[in-house]
């Protein structure tokens, strides 16, 4: 009955897509999941979205991989590693890994890829992740003429074809988490440079075509249908191919959440990560729907370069007037928590700062909204001089629209503002954000590793992921000082001071802390809830009875490499 209810609510859109799929006459992959959007790139250095990261995790592999449940670092391209007693020098011993075209993968491939990540021309959103390496930040900041000479001072070297040595500028407790994150994945230099030379204006699209893309992960790209799907096939050259169970994976690009649910309920999709909010009460009764907290925050970015949003008082008035509790309890309904912070709760060793507000009792929102009206009056706005029309940008999603409508209605009723909504598909939305062609923009940040630094360094002035136009020298200094601080408690204090400053300036408006919303085929093994909601495809396999008599049994994940503790 629940299934019929869900189908009835979203069936028309779903039937249209199912009809297209049948007409395509494409044999079903062993596993199918909906990624929610068309990927903008498959270049590990260029991507920043969750949709692209999932595909990169299937096509590429770093020095380490995450354990599917605990997220502990397991051997990837590196079969073992050691950390020197001073906590600064990592030595990674590479296995005899190969690219998908059969060529050997060496330590030089990592040197090339990591240097490319640091190059300003790459415009990598996560280039700053490597600033923990000795000399890397100075190299990235140097002029083009100086960089060649400065490279010798960067703490990266290949002792031989299968030994990579990394010298850090400071102890970095989360460094192994970085080595399994897509910005630090290797790319094949010959392939990249071939397409850059042959197609200087369109090399990205040419390089990532099926048959052109050379990767090193458990899967390789064999087909792409734009705005439909990517088909991935098991990579026979992968070092652990014997333990990769699924022969093929389809990655769908269905933006409509209701259609995605339809496909799942009909058995045409095995995993979706978003569900219609209206159906959450019914879905919570299902054993295959298990929301769980994870390290992610939902917020609105503010373009602080554009009046009236360049006024901190206006930004604070907007932040105070959002009914977070109503959004979480009446709209989202999956266990999300109202948030007045940039960082999510439960980060180890960190007491997060919060934006100043009236509190959590029943009348707190009215007190906050009264302060908001006073702030607008102080800034020169009121009934006789209203704020200009504000616009909220969001990418295609019923949930994002629902949230924007509630936020806009609250601003209209409490502050008398006129608010418009602008929906753009994923690629246009990212482009608008990157180029500051927006006023307020739906955003989120999903933790790449469990550390407050991962959330706070995003808003350092000039950072690729900042996308607000905001810059504050004191904030940048606090984040930088925390990065150099060796004493954990002092480091946490500096990060909390930076967060407090961010929440005073408010280039972003925090709204809620996420929970995952996965609907997963109960027969899938190797897929676990975890605090990063990340699910490495190499561990996926079907439980018995298997769809194929030749499907291998599931091995235990290989344990981590050798490591000497500090």
Q: What is the C-alpha separation between 134 and 202, in angstroms, rounded?
A: 34
Specify the CATH number of the domain 39-212.
Answer: 3.90.76.10
Structure confidence at residue 188 (pLDDT): 97
Q: Does the predicted TM-score (pTM) go above 0.95?
A: no
Structure confidence at residue 547 (pLDDT): 45
Q: What is the pLDDT of residues 395-434, one digit of tens each?
A: 998 899 999 999 999 999 999 999 999 999 999 999 999 9
Structure confidence at residue 57 (pLDDT): 97
Structure confidence at residue 181 (pLDDT): 96
Specify the CATH number of the domain 293-515.
Answer: 3.10.105.10
Q: Which residues of 42-65 are buried (b: 16+ CB within 10 A; e: fewer)?
A: bbbbbbbbbbbbbbbbbbbbbbbb
Contacts of 214 (CB under 8 A, 6+ apart): 99, 100, 101, 188, 191
- Mean pLDDT score, 66-82: 96
Structure confidence at residue 173 (pLDDT): 86
**% the chain with pLDDT above 90:** 81
Structure confidence at residue 566 (pLDDT): 29
Contacts of 376 (CB under 8 A, 6+ apart): 313, 314, 317, 382, 387, 415
Structure confidence at residue 25 (pLDDT): 66
Structure confidence at residue 558 (pLDDT): 44
Strand partners, 92: 81, 164
Q: What is the pLDDT of residues 125-161, one digit of tens each?
A: 999 999 999 999 999 999 998 999 999 999 999 999 9
Q: What is the pLDDT of residues 297-308, one digit of tens each?
A: 999 999 999 999
21 or 425: which leads in pLDDT:
425
**% the chain with pLDDT above 70:** 92
- Mean pLDDT score, 491-498: 96
Strand partners, 230: 224, 251
Q: Which residues of 522-531 are buried (b: 16+ CB within 10 A; e: fewer)?
A: eebebbebbb
Could you give the 3-state DSSP secondary structure of residue 31?
A: strand
Whether the CA torsion 44, 45, 51, 54 is positive or negative: it is positive
CB 252 within 8 A of CB 34: yes
Taking all residues of the chain, what is their mean pLDDT, rounded to a whole number? 91
User: Please, is 532 exposed, middle or buried when counting C-beta atoms within 10 Å of its C-beta (0-12, 13-18, 19+)?
Assistant: middle
Q: Retrieve residue 119's tokens.
A: 């190059």
Q: Retrieve residue 414's tokens.
A: 């409490």
Q: What is the C-alpha separation between 337 and 314, in angstroms, rounded?
A: 25
107 or 40: which leads in pLDDT:
107
Q: What is the C-alpha separation between 238 and 230, in angstroms, rounded?
A: 19
For the cut 70, the answer to whether the pLDDT of residue 10 exceeds it is: no
User: Please, is 519 exposed, middle or buried when counting C-beta atoms within 10 Å of its C-beta (0-12, 13-18, 19+)?
Assistant: buried
- The contacts found for 452-456 with CB under 8 angstroms, 24 or more apart, are 452/343, 452/347, 452/350, 452/352, 452/492, 452/495, 452/496, 452/499, 453/174, 453/479, 453/482, 453/483, 453/495, 454/174, 455/297, 455/342, 455/343, 455/344, 456/342, 456/343, 456/495, 456/498, 456/499, 456/502
- Mean pLDDT score, 335-351: 92
Segments making up each domain of the chain, as ranges: 2-22+254-291+517-535, 39-212, 293-515
């Amino acid at each position: 009955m629940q299934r019929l209810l869900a189908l009835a609510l979203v069936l028309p859109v779903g039937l249209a897509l199912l009809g297209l799929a049948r007409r395509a006459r494409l044999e079903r992959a062993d596993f199918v999941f909906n990624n929610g959007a068309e990927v903008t790139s498959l270049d590990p250095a260029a991507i920043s979205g969750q949709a692209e990261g999932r595909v990169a995790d299937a096509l590429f592999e770093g020095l380490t991989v995450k354990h599917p449940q605990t997220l502990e670092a397991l051997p990837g391209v590196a079969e073992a590693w050691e950390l020197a007693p001073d906590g600064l020098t990592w030595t990674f011993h590479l296995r005899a890994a190969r690219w998908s075209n059969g060529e050997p993968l060496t330590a030089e491939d990592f040197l090339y890829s990591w240097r490319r990540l640091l190059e300003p021309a790459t415009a990598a959103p996560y280039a700053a992740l490597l600033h923990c390496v000795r000399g890397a930040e100075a190299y990235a900041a140097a002029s083009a003429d100086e960089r060649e000479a400065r490279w010798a001072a960067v703490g990266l070297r290949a002792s031989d074809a299968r030994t990579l040595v990394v010298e850090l500028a400071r102890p970095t407790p989360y460094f192994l988490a970085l080595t399994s994150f897509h910005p630090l994945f290797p790319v094949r230099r010959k392939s990249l440079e071939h397409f850059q030379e042959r197609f200087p204006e369109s090399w990205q699209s040419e390089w990532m075509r099926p048959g052109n893309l050379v990767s090193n992960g458990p899967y390789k790209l064999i087909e792409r249908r734009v705005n439909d799907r990517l088909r991935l096939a098991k990579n026979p050259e992968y070092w652990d191919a014997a333990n990769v169970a699924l022969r093929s994976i389809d990655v769908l690009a269905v933006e409509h959440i209701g259609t995605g649910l339809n496909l799942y309920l009909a058995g045409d999709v095995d995993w979706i990560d978003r569900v219609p909010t209206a159906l959450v009460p019914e879905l919570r009764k299902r054993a295959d729907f298990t929301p769980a907290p994870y390290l992610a925050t939902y917020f609105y970015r503010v373009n602080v370069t554009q009046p009236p949003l360049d006024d901190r008082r206006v930004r604070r008035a907007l932040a105070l007037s959002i009914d977070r509790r109503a959004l979480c309890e009446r709209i989202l309904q999956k266990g999300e928590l109202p948030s007045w912070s940039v960082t999510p709760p439960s980060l180890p060793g960190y007491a997060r700062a919060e934006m100043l507000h009236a509190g959590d009792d029943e009348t707190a929102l009215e007190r906050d909204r009264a302060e908001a009206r006073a702030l607008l009056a102080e800034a020169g706005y009121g009934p006789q001089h209203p704020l200009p029309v504000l616009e909220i940008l969001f990418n295609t999603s019923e949930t994002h629209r629902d949230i924007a409508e509630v936020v806009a209605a609250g601003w209209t009723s409490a502050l008398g503002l006129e608010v418009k909504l602008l929906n753009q598909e994923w690629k246009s939305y990212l482009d608008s954000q990157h180029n500051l062609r927006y006023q307020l923009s739906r955003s989120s940040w999903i933790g790449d590793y469990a550390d407050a630094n991962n959330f706070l360094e995003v808003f350092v002035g000039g950072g690729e992921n900042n996308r607000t136009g905001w810059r504050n020298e004191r904030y940048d200094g606090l984040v930088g000082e925390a990065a150099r601080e060796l004493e954990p408690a002092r480091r946490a204090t500096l990060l909390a001071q930076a967060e407090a400053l961010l929440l005073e300036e408010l280039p972003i408006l925090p709204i809620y802390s996420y929970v995952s919303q996965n609907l997963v085929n109960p027969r899938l093994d190797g897929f676990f809830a975890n605090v990063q909601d990340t699910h490495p495809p190499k561990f996926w396999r079907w439980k018995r009875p298997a769809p194929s008599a030749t499907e291998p049994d599931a091995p235990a994940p290989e344990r981590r490499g050798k490591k000497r503790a500090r």
